[in-house]
């Protein structure tokens, strides 16, 4: 049975009373090292086939030391997904706190999303493997993921309301965008042709530009409509 942990700044493992902040940071860094090692195993073997012993070997730990940090693969997956979503929520809040145009806010959120999934975990697919979690843990992640999706959708809707984006189905557009950025975890390789920074610049720009360009096109078409109507009326009166 998986113990549900409070995954806060010290990553969910309660440290002894009196532990220094330095110890907490060291523990956090070690967990991230383990997640990176797990990411490499997941890419080679798949999440279902990967075992804790193999992850321990990849992380250069004994199985006993690995179990000190994570009691099992379910807990490791939960930590990965929870941490990633916490960072994504923070990116949305940070973007919304600025006075920047909505298009810029949305680009920054999508860029942060990419950095969260590709920088820290080197393209790990672990944060996508929600179905691999037990029901109780899975529901917590699904609820947090849905809340994040609603926040991104609210940005898209705000852009439409302000005229920065063309009228659209905000839910459909949001899911398409998040699907595109999530899929990078499937194909990204640290030794590939593009760096994370390059992907995080180019992909959000491409995704958001479609909404913005369509809005400008629609605006120009609307502006031309009265002129065309006037010409039509004059032609009929001749």
Res. 106: pLDDT tops 90: yes
What tokens appear for 229 in the block? 């109507």
Res. 3: pLDDT tops 60: no
User: How much is the average pLDDT of 151-165?
Assistant: 96
Q: What is the DSSP string of 99-159?
A: -S-HHHHHHHHHHHHHHHHHTTTSS-SGGG-GGGS-HHHHHHHHHHHHHHHHHHHHHHHHH
Res. 8: pLDDT tops 50: no
What tokens appear for 140 in the block? 């917590």
pLDDT at 227: 36
- For 90, other C-beta atoms within 10 Å of its C-beta total 12
Question: Which among 83, 139, 91, 145 has a CA at the least distance from the CA of 113?
Answer: 91
Q: What are the tens digits of pLDDT across the range 56-80?
A: 999 999 999 999 999 998 888 898 8
Which structural domains are found in the chain, ordered by start? 73-217 (1.10.357.10)
């Amino acid at each position: 049975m998986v113990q549900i942990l409070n995954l806060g700044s010290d990553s969910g493992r309660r440290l002894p009373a009196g532990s220094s902040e330095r110890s907490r940071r060291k523990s956090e860094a070690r967990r991230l090292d383990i997640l990176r090692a797990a990411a490499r195993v997941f890419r080679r073997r798949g999440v279902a086939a990967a075992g804790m012993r193999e992850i321990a070997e990849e992380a250069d730990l004994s199985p006993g030391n690995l179990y000190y940090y994570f009691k099992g693969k379910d807990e490791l997956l939960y930590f990965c997904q929870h941490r990633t979503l916490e960072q994504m929520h923070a990116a949305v809040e940070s973007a919304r706190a600025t006075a920047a145009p909505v298009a810029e806010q949305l680009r920054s959120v999508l860029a942060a999303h990419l950095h969260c999934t590709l920088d820290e975990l080197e393209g790990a697919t672990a944060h996508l493997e929600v179905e691999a979690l037990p029901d109780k843990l899975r529901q917590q992640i699904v609820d947090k993921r849905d809340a994040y999706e609603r926040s991104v959708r609210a940005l898209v809707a705000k852009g439409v309301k302000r005229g920065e984006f063309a009228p659209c189905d905000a839910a459909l557009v949001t899911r398409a965008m998040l699907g595109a950025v999530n899929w990078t975890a499937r194909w990204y390789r640290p030794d590939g042709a593009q760096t994370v920074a390059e992907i995080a610049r180019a992909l959000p720009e491409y995704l958001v530009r479609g909404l913005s360009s369509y809005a400008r096109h629609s605006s120009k078409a609307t502006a031309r409509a009265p002129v065309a109507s006037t010409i039509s009326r004059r032609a009929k009166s001749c």
